[in-house]
Structure 1
Amino acid sequence: MKLTTLTVLASAVAPALAATYPITGDSVNCRSGPSTNYAVKKTYDKGHGVTITCQTSGTTVNGNSIWDKTSDGCYVSDYYVKTGVDGYVTGKCGSTSTCVAPKSNQATVDLIAEFEGFVDHVYTDATGHPTVGYGHLCSDSKCSGVKYPIPLSKANGKALLADDMKKFEKCITSMLKSKAVINLNQYGALVSWSFNMGCGAAQDSTLVKRLNNGENVNTVLSEELPKWVHGNGAVLPGLVRRRNAEIALAKKATSDKALPVKC
C-alpha cells in the first residue's frame, strides 16, 4: 500500500509528532514479545491508533513476520496495523537481538519430542490450543501460519520443531541475567519448560526471578517446576511427568556451559 497524500502532508507539516497507525482487526492482542506464544498484555479495538516505537521479526501472521512494539510496551503483529507500507516504518528493536542464544543439546530435543509426540494433522491439545507436529501451537484453528504442508511429514515436523525451539532458546537467553549461571542441561530444562508453557508465562514467573537473583539453579528448578502441572484448573499427569523429566535433565552433570552469554 502507498501512503496517502494526507498522511504525507501531515508528516511534513508536523514532523515532531509521533505517527499513529490504526488497528485493522477486531480485538487485536498486544503481547509481551513478538510471538503468538507470549502473554497478552493489552487488547486493541479496531480503529484504535497505536504509536510504534520500534519493529522486529517474529511469528509470521498471514504472511507478515514483522511485529510492532507500541508505546504501551507490548508487541502487536504488523499484519493488523495499517502503516501504509509493506515493510519497516521505523528502526528495529534491539533489546532481544544482541545476544546469540545457545543451541539446545540433543537431550533437550529428545525430551521435547518425547513429551510433545508427533501428530501430522491439526488437533486440540489438553489446554484447548490448536496444535500440529511436535507440539507446535498455532495462531488459528487451521494452523494457516505453518509454512510446511499439512498433514506434516515427520521430517517437516522435526524442521518445524527446530524452528519453534529457536524462539524459546532466544526467549530464555534474553530473560536471564548475569547472576544466572546455567549449564547446557539446565538450559535444556528451561527451554523445554518455556516451550511447553509459553515464553510470556516463563518471563513473568517466580522461577526466573529467583534465577536472576543468583539462587542455586537446581534448587530453584526442583522447587518451581513442579508448580507448572495444571491445565484448565486440573493437575495433568503428563505435565507432572514432563516436569520430573526436566528436573532430571537439569540435575544431570555436564561441563558444557550455556548462560550467561556475552552480548
Structure 2
Amino acid sequence: MTNVPSGAAIPREVHPDALALVRHFEGLYLKAYLCPAGVPTIGYGHTAGVKMGQTINGLQAEVYLRADMADAARDVDRLVMAPLTDRQRGALASFVFNLGAGALRDSTLRSMLNKGDYKGAAGQFGRWVYATVNGEKVQLPGLVKRRAAEKALFETA
C-alpha cells in the first residue's frame, strides 16, 4: 500500500525506453563541457547549476537524468490534455528535455495531440530537426535521428 493522500495522483515514472533514448542521444560526460549553445553541461545533458571544471560520477549522472526527465514529464502532463501511454509520455518528455517546454507548448504537435490526432502529432516530430548555425537554419543529422527515435517510441503500442 502506498502512502498517498486520498484523491492525490500517484506520480508516473518516466518510461525506461525514454530514459534509454536520452542516454543514447545525449551521451555521458563526467566532466563539464560547453554544449553547442555555449551552456555548461554534464552527465546526460544536465545544465542546471553546472560550472566548468565540475566532475561527477555515473551515479550522479543518472540521478540528474531521472530528475531532469521527471521535470520534462511534468511539463508534458501540464501541457497535454489528451490521454497518453507511458511510451508516448516518455517520447514527449525526451522532446521537452531536448527543446524545452516552450517548444512543445507552441507546437502544432501539441495542438494536434490535444485534438486527439495522435497520428498527425506523431508526424510532427520530424519538423524539429533544425538549428541555427552561423545565422543559417540547417538540418542536423543527430536531430533527425533523435526525432525519428522519439516518433518510433511515441508510436509503440
Q: Does 1:219 align with 2:120?
A: yes
What displacement does 1:220 show?
1.2
Q: Give the total of aligned pairs.
A: 145
1:193 is matched with: 95
Q: Does 1:202 align with 2:104?
A: yes
Amino acid at match of 1:185: R
Greater share of helix residues, 1 or 2? 2
Moved segments of 4+, more than 3 Å: 98-101
The verdict on how the C-alpha distance between 1:184 and 1:157 changes in structure 2, with shifts beyond 3 A counting, is: same
SS at match of 1:123: strand
**Within-5 A mapping of 1:64-213:** 101-138=11-48, 143-144=50-51, 150-177=54-81, 180-213=82-115
Q: Which moved more, 1:128-137 or 1:164-173?
A: 128-137
* 2-structure distance, mates of 1:153, 1:208: 36
The verdict on how the C-alpha distance between 1:202 and 1:101 changes in structure 2, with shifts beyond 3 A counting, is: farther
Q: TM-score, normalised on structure 2?
A: 0.84
Amino acid at match of 1:241: K
What displacement does 1:230 show?
1.3
Q: Does 1:229 align with 2:139?
A: no
**Within-5 A mapping of 1:10-25:** none
Structure 1 residues not aligned, in runs of 5+: 1-97, 254-263
What displacement does 1:101 show?
4.8
The verdict on how the C-alpha distance between 1:218 and 1:188 changes in structure 2, with shifts beyond 3 A counting, is: farther
1:246 is matched with: 150
Q: Deviations over 1:52-105 (max 9, x none)?
A: xxxxxxxxxxxxxxxxxxxxxxxxxxxxxxxxxxxxxxxxxxxxxx86652111
Task: Check whether the contact 2:15–2:86 (CA below 8 A) recurs between aligned residues.
Answer: yes
* 2-structure distance, mates of 1:185, 1:116: 19
Task: Check whether the contact 1:129–1:137 (CA below 8 A) recurs between aligned residues.
Answer: yes
Amino acid at match of 2:71: K
* 1-structure distance, mates of 2:41, 2:96: 16
Task: Check whether the contact 1:218–1:250 (CA below 8 A) recurs between aligned residues.
Answer: no
* 2-structure distance, mates of 1:240, 1:126: 17
